[in-house]
Amino acid sequence: MHILATSTAFPPHYYSQREFLDTLLTYWGDDPKVASIIGRLHLRTGVDGRYFSRPLNDYLALDTWGKCNDAWIETAVDLGERAIDCALKQAGLSPDQLRAIFFVSVTGVASPSIDARLVNRMHLAPNIRRNPIFGLGCVAGAAGLARAADYVRAYPDQIAVLLSVELCSFTWQRDDKSVANLISVGLFGDGAAAVIVAGDNIPGRGPRILASDRAFYPDTEDVMGWSISEKGFNIVLSPDVPKVITENLGRNVDDFLLAHGMTRRDIGCWIMHTGGPKVLEATAEALGITRDQLEVSWEALRRVGNLSSASVLVVLDEIMKHRRPAPGTRSILAAMGPGFCAEMLLLEW
């Protein structure tokens, strides 16, 4: 299995962290304690700016979950089409050559799902295998890529696409003044990413996917996720996230590599979910690597914020296009998310 092409797509509205903070203060500025907290938190997120699906002032009118979700569907279809179309053009493929589509998101719901709507809009093959996946959160970029690789392993003459669309701005809860929500509204952004994966019988020059593995941590469902109510998605974000990463990720990666006769010394490139500053610091500590070895992840966080499942794919896209390692280099691509769990892939360039 190998990766043929990657792409990203973003909405047209980009705001600096300072601009967004000023907007938040119009909502919460009447509470001096909250204003002080968000000012302190948001300037420590490592985020310079983010993309938003709507102009900031338009979010005032999205005062119900239904309105937010309708906007999510509209934007998700548009960004999804752009991301897949761009990846197809890079790979020199037509839409009807795709035989499976894996769609991941955790910021909205739709039935028919977004992938079904794209079959109609993009004239994908009517017998394409559709695989919508909801609920995996940040880990879904890596997990979706692993599931797409599993598919083309079984069908080596076929091509699959993974699409991630995360529109975190539509999940913002204006009545929630918890620290978890104050952090999340300063960290998460909107965007999409697509990855085209081909079986061994399809020629291509992208990195090979050698293997994948995953780890689930029992009784950690309260570490991260959503509490879903009539108001929509309320963030669950425990301060224990970095601790869980530090205690588990290094061991998970070591066990994965050992199963393939390797150690961390054999890895020349790390493709990691951006998370946030504490997540990236915990990742480096767990793996025994330097901040410089996660430079692309730090840069993605700075430019676009945390995009949940799309984050690790944005890092992959940057490496594919601008920082491709030397042939023969091995990479670990990994993300962690609700469950709590980890997903890892071993790549060779």
DSSP string for 200-255 = TTS---S-EEEEEEEEE-TT-TTSEEEEEETTEEEEEE-TTHHHHHHHHHHHHHHH
Whole-angstrom distance, CA of residue 324 vs CA of residue 184: 31
Dihedral angle over CA of 244, 250, 251, 252, nearest 10: 80
130, 326 Cβ separation under 8 angstroms: no
Query: Could you list the pLDDT tens digit for every one of the 349 residues in the chain?
Result: 999 999 999 999 999 998 988 888 777 666 777 777 777 777 778 999 999 999 999 998 998 999 999 999 999 999 999 999 999 999 999 999 999 999 999 999 999 999 999 999 999 999 999 999 999 999 999 999 999 999 999 999 999 999 999 999 999 887 777 878 878 888 899 999 999 999 999 998 899 999 999 999 998 988 888 888 888 888 888 888 999 999 999 999 999 999 999 999 999 999 999 999 999 999 999 999 999 999 999 999 999 999 999 999 999 999 999 999 999 999 999 999 998 999 999 999 9
Start and end residues for every CATH 3.40.47.10 domain found in the chain: 2-198, 208-348
User: Domain spanning 2-198 has what CATH number?
Assistant: 3.40.47.10
CA neighbor of 337 nearest in space, from 236, 197, 192: 236
Catalytic status, residue 269: no
165, 53 Cβ separation under 8 angstroms: no
If phi > 0 it is left, if psi is from -120 to 50 it is alpha, else beta; for residue 147 that is alpha
Structure tokens of 331?
Answer: 């990479």
Check residue 306 and report its DSSP letter: B
State how beta strands 224-229 and 232-237 pair.
antiparallel
pLDDT, position 29 = 64
Given 68, 138, 168, 341, which residue is catalytic? 138
Whole-angstrom distance, CA of residue 243 vs CA of residue 281: 11
pTM of the model as a whole: 0.94
Could you say which of 3.40.190.10, 3.40.1280.10, 3.40.47.10, 3.40.80.10 is the CATH number of the domain covering 208-348? 3.40.47.10
Whole-angstrom distance, CA of residue 23 vs CA of residue 33: 16
